[in-house]
Structure 1
Amino acid sequence: LDALAGAKWFSTLDLASGYWQVEVAEEDREKTAFSTPLGLFQFRVMPFGLCNAPATFQRLMEKALRGLTWKTCLVYLDDVIVFGKTEEEHLERLEGVLSRLQSVGLKIKPEKCQLMRQSVHYLGHVVTQHGIGTDPEKTAAVQKWPTPRCV
């Protein structure tokens, strides 16, 4: 997250059912087969739970956003953060990332995106121009624990 230093504007993008946007090669589909009382089925798209699914998806995202990562955006699986020092720079970068995702056929889930903000939640952190902090929602349960009465 050090790449975000100096940025004042942020957007987060979340892909819609990310794994399901990745087609399984025809010759590999039989490896995803499963049996039910209704018959034998196999996936046409990458299912959740395959041991190499996260690495495969990360590689796909890095390939899709090649040349933009670390300078324009950061990506972790289906979570992307776009950053910029000015509104204009940020908007230009956001358009570039969205255009790239569209060109490779990846779709985002608009209701899970945060656009053109000075503070965003990303990977369990709150990101602002002043730095990165732990998301208070993630620590609320621990902070509410009662103080121990005996040790």
Structure 2
Amino acid sequence: KLFTIIDQKDSYWQVKLELASSLMMTFNTPFGRYRFIRMPFGITSASEVMQKWTYETFGDIPFVHIVTEDMLIAAPNVAEHGKTLRKVLERARTYGVKFNAAKTQLKKSEVFYMGTHISAEGL
């Protein structure tokens, strides 16, 4: 088994808000009135929205497991891992998703994902 962990860079900011949501995110400052056009960190529903958005974007790809903005590719062999990684990268290019290279772990025999040690032997 091979594992890859991919973390989205500034993940919430990659989600464009619909106009109605953007208007609700308007705030005033001494320098003027502003509104978010991308999902800000810190709002109550942000993690749920991020989970849904990431799942809708990558969730149909076999061997991909998603928790919020983090993805785990857990493929049974090198060939399947390569196909899966290629699909993830192609989909990311299509949707303009950016990944955090510093947090990415490619083709590992064991990883720590969401605080859990994962290897070919299991959890």
Q: TM-score, normalised by structure 2?
A: 0.92
Would you say 1:20 and 2:13 are equivalent positions?
yes
Q: How many residues are aligned here?
A: 123
In structure 2, what residue type is equivalent to 1:113?
Answer: T
**Which of 81, 93, 104 is equivalent to 2:95?**
104
Write out per-residue CA displacement over residues 36-55 of structure 1, whole angstroms, 9 at most, x where no aligned residue: 22222111100012222111
Looking at structure 1, the residues matched to 109 and 12 of structure 2 have their Cα atoms a distance apart, in angstroms, of: 29
CA positional deviation for 1:92: 1.3
DSSP 3-state at the match of 1:92: helix
CA positional deviation for 1:14: 0.2
Matches within 5 A, 1:1-80: 8-68=1-61, 71-80=62-71
Q: Which has the higher contact order (CA 8 A, sep 6+)?
A: 2
DSSP 3-state at the match of 1:59: helix
Looking at structure 1, the residues matched to 4 and 112 of structure 2 have their Cα atoms a distance apart, in angstroms, of: 9
CA positional deviation for 1:66: 3.6
Write out per-residue CA displacement over residues 86-145 of structure 1, whole angstroms, 9 at most, x where no aligned residue: 11221111111121122122111111100011011210112111111xxxxxxxxxxxxx
Looking at structure 2, the residues matched to 50 and 24 of structure 1 have their Cα atoms a distance apart, in angstroms, of: 13
Q: TM-score, normalised by structure 1?
A: 0.76
Q: Which runs of 5+ in 2 are unaligned?
A: none
Q: Which runs of 5+ in 1 are unaligned?
A: 1-7, 133-151
CA contact (8 A) 2:59 2:65 kept: no
DSSP 3-state at the match of 2:60: coil
CA positional deviation for 1:77: 0.8
In structure 2, the partner of 1:146 is none
In structure 1, the partner of 2:107 is 116
DSSP 3-state at the match of 1:131: coil
Runs of 4 or more off by more than 4 Å in structure 1? none
